[in-house]
Amino acid sequence: MKKTYVGIDIGKRGAIAVIYPDRSIKTIKMPMTNEDINYQSLFTLLSQTASIDAHVVFEKLGVIFGTTKTTAFSMGYQAGAMEMACIAFKAPYTKVRAVDWQKYMFEGIPDILKEGTKRRDTKAMALQAIRKWFPGLKLTFGEKATVPHDGLIDAVLIAEYARKHDL
């Protein structure tokens, strides 16, 4: 039996992507209540993985250059909540480092540098990668949105990384 893969881009502007065995994709914007993540809704979404053969994948967090202590704490809290939900539902999960999934998913994508620096622009490269892997996928949430959603892009790429590695 083939698996369903759930990729999660942690963060208030994050998203959840589900890649089903038939390769269809469902994307969900990170559930929010005002300015905070709605953990009850997130818990309900993750509870649905218990009823299907799903593998949940999210980033193993490390130090993110330029983030504040508040942001770092918030991201760590969210990662912990994800892990505990997976444990509670007995859902298999993997934490993957951003550099690992990006290295694989960005294969064949030329380096794009952040303006005025020598650092790679991973958001721009992820946009190129998702257009390569999923050329027809809608990259926005809502009818009026025109700017691709970073969280959606990362969540789909994380789920596809998991699928390609048969996690």
Q: What is the CATH number of domain 4-164?
A: 3.30.420.10
Residue 53, token pair as written in the block: 């053969």
- pLDDT given for residue 98 in this prediction: 93
- pLDDT given for residue 159 in this prediction: 97
Domain ranges of the chain: 4-164
CA distance 161 to 136: 18
pTM: 0.91
Cβ atoms within 10 Å of 5's Cβ, excluding its own? 27
110-140 per-residue burial string, b: 16 or more CB within 10 A, e: under 16: eebeeeeeeeeebeebbbbbbeeebeeeebe
Q: pLDDT 10s digit of each residue in the chain, 167 long?
A: 588 999 999 888 899 999 999 999 999 999 988 888 888 888 888 887 767 789 999 999 876 666 788 877 788 888 888 899 888 888 899 999 999 999 999 999 999 999 988 889 999 999 999 999 999 999 999 889 999 999 999 999 999 999 999 99
